[in-house]
Amino acid sequence: MNKSAIRKKIFQLRKKKYFKSESISPDKIFKFLERKKIKKKIIGGYYPYNYEIDILNILKKLEKKNYLISLPKINKNNKMNFYQWSFKDPLSINAFGIPEPLPKKKVNPEILLIPIVAYDKELNRLGYGGGFYDRYLSQALNHKKIIKIGLGFSFQKIDKLPTNQYDQKLDYVITEKDFI
């Protein structure tokens, strides 16, 4: 199955199962960060869109624990950067209909919480197909180590994803049921 067919299948599944599925507990993420002794404090999150797993409760808990929260913003030339954001800050809606922060302070997250369309046991991730995260990571990883955590539902796992040389692997995948 090619990437486009996988996306179509998972989008239908996600829409059908979204309201019946559990979310990821904020404690699961926080305990993971503590267990791995991750003391870095700049988190790159995302604002849930199109039946993505809702992480707003996770981001709220991290903000209360003094993590600096940032969200992606798509800039010119289809580049993506992360900007500091707090729950008291306004958001704007981009051309794709996704809420994003107003460009305030650009930051370089040390931990990225990345939405998943599909994933496999090799920690390959399938996104929407725009390559935003892959481009961001290929550039950012030249400068520093970033912990890449994919977040999604367990039903989004498939046996083997087709990949190419531009695809960036995840370090971990966390779902409502699993931790890979």
Band of residue 144 on the pLDDT scale cut at 50, 70, 90: confident
Residue 133, pLDDT > 70, answer yes
- Long-range pairs of 8-12 with CB within 8 A, sequence gap ≥ 24: 10/117, 10/118, 10/126, 10/156, 10/158, 11/50, 11/51, 11/117
Q: Answer yes or no: is 162 within a domain.
A: no
Q: Answer yes or no: is 165 within a domain.
A: no
Q: Answer yes or no: is 149 within a domain.
A: yes
Q: Answer yes or no: is 43 within a domain.
A: yes
Residue 40, pLDDT > 80, answer no
Work out the number of other CB atoms within 10 angstroms of the CB of residue 139.
12
Q: Answer yes or no: is 160 within a domain.
A: no
- The per-residue pLDDT for range 61-87, each reduced to its tens digit, is 999 989 999 999 998 888 999 999 999
Q: Answer yes or no: is 25 within a domain.
A: yes
* DSSP 8-state symbol, 155: G
Q: Which residues of 165-176 are buried (b: 16+ CB within 10 A; e: fewer)?
A: eebbebeebbbb
Q: Answer yes or no: is 95 within a domain.
A: yes
- The per-residue pLDDT for range 2-31, each reduced to its tens digit, is 999 999 999 999 999 999 888 898 988 888
Band of residue 39 on the pLDDT scale cut at 50, 70, 90: low
Residue 178, pLDDT > 90, answer no
Q: Answer yes or no: is 104 within a domain.
A: yes
Domain count, the chain: 1
> Looking at the DSSP assignment, which residues form a beta bridge with residue 43?
69, 111
Q: What is the CATH number of the domain that holds 103?
A: 3.40.50.10420
Full residue range of the structural domain in which residue 36 is found: 3-155+170-174
